[in-house]
């Protein structure tokens, strides 16, 4: 079975039902009764509607047309096609059209700079790039220098001279399935790592990986045809798309919300009757803050159908879930752990029945195996810290064109995640920290995530990141970058007093107050923080020595 089989099944069984909704909120929309009605107002032009939708049969037809367009241009099985788009109604039909043509989809991070776009296109051997109006200025300085990229398709009106109108071209192509034979071992997609250790690595997955993600997600969250999934994170990332794969498998509707304001999230849930919402930690925090401060009133929204809130992409503070359950006591809660190398979330899974284990990432996901090992690859004892490794059909094929990096993380079918973890007496796994983020101070291993969780229990702290800084005597010391909630103040003395209940060696030695930077998938950008604050600390080290 291949991933496109599910789309064709939905087109056949649920052809006239809504598959996808795209919502583009704006400040003006707050005055409208509903987003549907706002589309009828004159300020909502055909070029920029606020709400669009597509049925399953049209989804499949558009994918077929794009596949046939690719084949008509001489692209063939194994050709790499880049996607550089914001979340939109065209994104997934283009993605599935690439797969139907036997080509390899290469989704691109919408925050990439011109240099990063060029690097990734060349690394993945992309022959054709599909991009939208948001990226014209970034493409301008590099478009002439991309010798391998033979064609540029544009999604939008009045594209640059070197591009062709993607949607207009598709209108002249057949809507019948292309005659391409595919199997589960065929390459399907290249995703890029977060690039936290330099430029991103290209992660190659086959169709078996994508199908594994579908089955894992649907098993974990029990999506049915009646469920409506609210998708807010970017589709280029495995996290968003693989959660949507549960809707693909069940034939349910999904809503692509282009905006993260708390009122827009609640409004989307209310008006589209969403039942499942996946949030990143910052969005959940903002939503709770808005409700607790009185900026939002829950009775203004119809939220009775919302059954499941789940969070992933980073360690989830238990204090956040405690707050959430106080406001939404009837909600099921779940968290998933995963990496792009393991086709996104799900290789470890908490389960809605295990909310008493908040703080854990869970146990092995559906069709997955897990272990925690020492530096020699031997399983550690229960309660001891080691590296988390996972095994399953969703593990990547390789890092594309990088044999050395592949050999470092793929060993005997196991994927070495680089995350340090431990297991409790009930078999639940707790993340301790990233292997590379462990701070060694005076010979003691310090795990920043543990300190971050503690600090977030302070009701004045909105977000926090803990990093290691160089120190002449101890080697490294811990520093906490703290973001205070809006309307509140805190001093370094106050934070130090709060930390007195921590063991002395875990207490932050330095405190900085500023906004905590996060990437589009919610992960703290610790390399940027280290680069900024290590320079300060290095000067101090040189002076002290």
Alpha helix positions (H), 80-203 = 91-100, 114-123, 136-139, 166-170
The reported pLDDT for the residue numbered 538 is 43
**Containing structural domain, residue 505:** 439-544
The reported pLDDT for the residue numbered 282 is 78
Q: Which two tokens stand for residue 269?
A: 């849930």
Residue 466 lies in a domain: yes
Q: Which of 32-41, 63-72, 309-318, 495-504 is least confident?
A: 32-41
**At which residue do the structure tokens 């869970």 appear?**
362
Q: Please determine, for residue 545, whether its predicted confidence score (pLDDT) is greater than 50.
A: no
What percent of the chain is modeled with pLDDT above 70?
90
Contacts of 326 (CB under 8 A, 6+ apart): none
pLDDT tens sequence across 191-201:
998 654 457 89
Alpha helix positions (H), 386-521 = 403-409, 448-456, 492-498
pLDDT interval class at 539 (50, 70, 90): very low
pLDDT interval class at 26 (50, 70, 90): confident
Of 168, 146, 171, 174, the residue nearest 155 (C-alpha)? 168
Question: How far apart, in whole angstroms, are the C-alpha atoms of residue 514 and residue 532?
Answer: 12
Of 461, 427, 446, the residue nearest 506 (C-alpha)? 446
| Total domains, the chain | 1
Q: Please determine, for residue 51, whether its predicted confidence score (pLDDT) is greater than 50.
A: yes
Q: Which two tokens stand for residue 153?
A: 């398709």
Q: Please determine, for residue 91, whether its predicted confidence score (pLDDT) is greater than 90.
A: yes
pLDDT interval class at 25 (50, 70, 90): confident
3-state secondary structure of 5: helix
Q: What is the CATH number of the domain that holds 470?
A: 3.30.300.30
pTM: 0.83
Question: How far apart, in whole angstroms, are the C-alpha atoms of residue 500 and residue 454?
Answer: 11
Q: Please determine, for residue 341, whether its predicted confidence score (pLDDT) is greater than 50.
A: yes
Contacts of 56 (CB under 8 A, 6+ apart): 7, 10, 11, 14, 15, 16, 17, 18, 19, 251
Q: Which two tokens stand for residue 451?
A: 């300190």
310-335 mean pLDDT = 85
Please calculate the CA angle 505-508-511 and round it to the nearest 5 degrees: 165
What percent of the chain is modeled with pLDDT above 90?
64
pLDDT interval class at 387 (50, 70, 90): very high
Q: Please determine, for residue 41, whether its predicted confidence score (pLDDT) is greater than 60.
A: no
Residue 468 lies in a domain: yes
Question: How far apart, in whole angstroms, are the C-alpha atoms of residue 101 and residue 162?
Answer: 24
Q: Please determine, for residue 42, whether its predicted confidence score (pLDDT) is greater than 60.
A: no
Q: Please determine, for residue 32, whether its predicted confidence score (pLDDT) is greater than 70.
A: no
The Cα-based distances of 430 to 217, 340, 425 in angstroms read: 21, 19, 11
95-103 mean pLDDT = 98
The reported pLDDT for the residue numbered 9 is 97
Contacts of 463 (CB under 8 A, 6+ apart): 282, 285, 456, 482, 483, 515, 516, 518
Of 320 and 534, more confident: 320
User: Which helix (H) or strand (E) element contains residue 21?
Assistant: strand 18-23
Question: How far apart, in whole angstroms, are the C-alpha atoms of residue 379 and residue 502?
Answer: 30
Cβ atoms of 510 and 469 within 8 Å: the answer is yes
Q: Please determine, for residue 265, whether its predicted confidence score (pLDDT) is greater than 90.
A: yes
Q: Which two tokens stand for residue 187?
A: 């390459």
Question: How far apart, in whole angstroms, are the C-alpha atoms of residue 268 and residue 266?
Answer: 5
pLDDT interval class at 419 (50, 70, 90): confident
Crossing angle of the two packed helices 318-327 and 281-292, in degrees rounded to 10: 40
Q: Please determine, for residue 520, whether its predicted confidence score (pLDDT) is greater than 90.
A: no
The reported pLDDT for the residue numbered 53 is 95
The reported pLDDT for the residue numbered 435 is 66
Residue 343 lies in a domain: no
Cβ atoms of 413 and 391 within 8 Å: the answer is yes
pLDDT tens sequence across 164-184:
999 999 999 999 999 999 999
The reported pLDDT for the residue numbered 45 is 46
Residue 307 lies in a domain: no
Residue 472 lies in a domain: yes
User: Which helix (H) or strand (E) element contains residue 327?
Assistant: helix 318-327
Q: How many CB atoms lie within 10 A of CB 505?
A: 15
3-state secondary structure of 402: coil
The reported pLDDT for the residue numbered 468 is 87
Q: Which of 29-38, 143-152, 271-280 is least confident?
A: 29-38
Residue 450 lies in a domain: yes
Cβ atoms of 121 and 81 within 8 Å: the answer is no
Residue 340 lies in a domain: no
pLDDT tens sequence across 478-513:
999 999 998 899 999 999 999 998 878 788 999 999
Of 426, 196, 219, 200, the residue nearest 336 (C-alpha)? 219
Residue 16 lies in a domain: no
The reported pLDDT for the residue numbered 296 is 94
* Ramachandran class of 259: left when φ > 0, alpha when ψ lies in -120 to 50, beta otherwise: left
Question: How far apart, in whole angstroms, are the C-alpha atoms of residue 248 and residue 256?
Answer: 14
Question: How far apart, in whole angstroms, are the C-alpha atoms of residue 429 and residue 473?
Answer: 34
């Amino acid at each position: 079975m291949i991933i496109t089989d599910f789309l064709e099944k939905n087109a056949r069984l649920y052809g006239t039902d809504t598959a996808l909704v795209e919502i583009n909120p704006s400040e003006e929309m707050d005055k409208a009764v509903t987003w549907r009605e706002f589309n009828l107002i004159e300020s909502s032009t055909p070029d920029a509607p606020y709400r669009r939708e597509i049925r399953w049969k049209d989804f499949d037809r558009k994918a077929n047309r794009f596949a046939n367009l690719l084949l008509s241009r001489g692209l063939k099985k194994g050709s790499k096609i880049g996607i550089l788009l914001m979340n939109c109604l065209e994104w997934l039909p283009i993605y599935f059209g690439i797969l139907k043509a036997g080509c390899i989809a290469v989704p691109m991070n919408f925050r990439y700079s011109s240099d990063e776009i060029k690097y990734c296109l060349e690394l993945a051997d992309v022959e054709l790039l599909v991009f939208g109006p948001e990226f014209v200025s970034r493409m301008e300085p590099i478009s002439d220098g991309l010798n391998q990229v033979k064609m540029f398709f544009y999604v939008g009106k009045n594209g640059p001279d070197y591009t062709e109108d993607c949607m207009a071209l598709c209108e002249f192509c057949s809507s019948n399935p292309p005659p391409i034979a595919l199997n589960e071992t065929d390459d399907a997609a290249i995703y890029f790592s977060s690039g936290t250790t330099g430029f991103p690595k290209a992660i190659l997955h086959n169709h078996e990986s994508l199908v594994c993600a579908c089955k894992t997600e649907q098993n974990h969250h029990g999506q049915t045809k009646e469920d409506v999934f609210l998708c807010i994170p970017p589709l280029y990332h495995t996290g968003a798309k693989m959660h949507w794969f549960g809707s693909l498998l069940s034939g349910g509707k999904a809503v692509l919300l282009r905006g993260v304001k708390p009122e827009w999230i609640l409004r989307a849930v209310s008006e589209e009757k969403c039942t499942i919402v996946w949030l990143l930690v910052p969005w959940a925090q903002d939503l709770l803050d808005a409700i607790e401060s009185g900026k939002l009133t829950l009775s203004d929204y119809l939220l009775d159908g919302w059954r499941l809130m789940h969070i992933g992409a980073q360690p989830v503070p238990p204090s956040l879930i405690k707050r959430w359950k106080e406001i939404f006591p009837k909600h099921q809660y779940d968290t998933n752990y995963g990496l792009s190398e393991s086709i996104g979330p799900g290789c470890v899974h908490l389960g809605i029945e295990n909310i008493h284990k908040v703080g854990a990432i869970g146990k092995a996901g559906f069709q997955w195996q897990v272990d925690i090992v020492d530096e020699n690859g031997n399983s550690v004892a229960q309660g001891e810290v080691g590296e988390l490794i996972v095994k399953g059909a969703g593990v990547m094929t390789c890092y594309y064109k990088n044999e050395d990096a592949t050999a470092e993380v793929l060993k005997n079918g196991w994927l070495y995640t680089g995350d340090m973890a431990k297991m409790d007496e009930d078999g639940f796994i707790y993340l301790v920290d990233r292997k590379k983020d462990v701070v060694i101070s005076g010979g003691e291993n310090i795990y920043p995530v543990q300190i971050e969780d503690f600090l977030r229990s302070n009701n004045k702290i909105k977000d926090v990141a803990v990093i290691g800084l160089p120190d002449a005597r101890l080697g490294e010391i811990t520093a906490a970058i703290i973001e205070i909630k809006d309307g509140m103040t805190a001093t370094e003395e106050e934070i130090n007093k709060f930390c007195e209940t921590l063991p002395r060696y875990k207490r932050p030695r330095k405190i900085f107050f500023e906004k905590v930077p996060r990437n589009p998938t919610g992960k703290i950008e610790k390399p940027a923080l280290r680069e900024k604050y290590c320079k300060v600390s290095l000067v101090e080290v040189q002076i002290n020595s």
